[in-house]
Amino acid sequence: MCMEEIAAAVCEGDDDNIVDLCRMALEGGATPSCIIKEGLTAGMMRAGEFFDSGEYFLPEMLISSMTLQKGLDYLVGCLEKESGFWRGCIVIGTVEGDTHDIGKNLVGAMLQAAGFRVIDLGIDVSAERFIESVGIYKPDIIAMSALLSTTMMNMETVIRRLSDRGLRDQVKVMIGGAVVNQRFADRIGADGYSENASQAVLLAERLICAS
């Protein structure tokens, strides 16, 4: 089975056939991590390039992401047998008062495909839940999303409480969302900001290396 076919299926959003393609690749002797990296992730990265160039928009990205997720869900059980795939743990969520989850879900899927164990806290996540997650999951990174100018300041609340509880040194913080930017990230003391899902993966890799 050619990885190119899997990559094309993800990029074109062929969610009906992705599981069959992955199964055939496994039967053909490919390892799960190889299928994820060279098939699923490569396809999603290609979709991301189309998004950056203005050829794809959110509907196309969501269908690619849905296809990616189906493939990942199928392969993730097999991955446990392979050692050394997971590169770190990331807790992700949309901050309190904000119910937008499209961007957050895209970033979560891309991070998972890139080899991060992703714990998705969902939407409208209180500062306290983010803080609790540090004790429960021991993440390397907390990733927060906000789409509203009325909720973006809740990101600062999370960072401040991490510091107040003496947890700030244990975890990196990255942020994203339509209303935030690098200047805002610097202002609230986040470790990084990314403009889109593919940049979020690069940022997470940088933060993990730095820690």
Query: Which residue ranges make up the site for another protein (CB under 8 A)?
Result: 13, 57-60, 62-63, 66, 99-102, 105, 149-150, 152-153, 178-181, 183-184, 187
Q: Which residue has the tokens 């306290």?
A: 128
Q: Which is nearer to another protein, 182 or 211 (CB)?
A: 182
Phi-psi region for residue 177, left (φ > 0), alpha (ψ -120 to 50) or beta? left
Q: Which residue has the tokens 């973006």?
A: 152
The answer to whether the CB of 195 falls within 8 A of the CB of 176 is: yes
Least distance (Å) from another protein to the CB of residue 62?
5
CA torsion sign for 97, 180, 205, 33 is positive
Q: Which is nearer to another protein, 30 or 118 (CB)?
A: 118
Least distance (Å) from another protein to the CB of residue 57?
5
Least distance (Å) from another protein to the CB of residue 210?
26
Residue type, 183: R
Q: Which is nearer to another protein, 122 or 135 (CB)?
A: 122
Q: Which is nearer to another protein, 138 or 179 (CB)?
A: 179
**Full strand arrangement of the beta sheet holding 116-120:** 116-120, 88-94, 141-145, 172-176, 192-193
Least distance (Å) from another protein to the CB of residue 130?
20
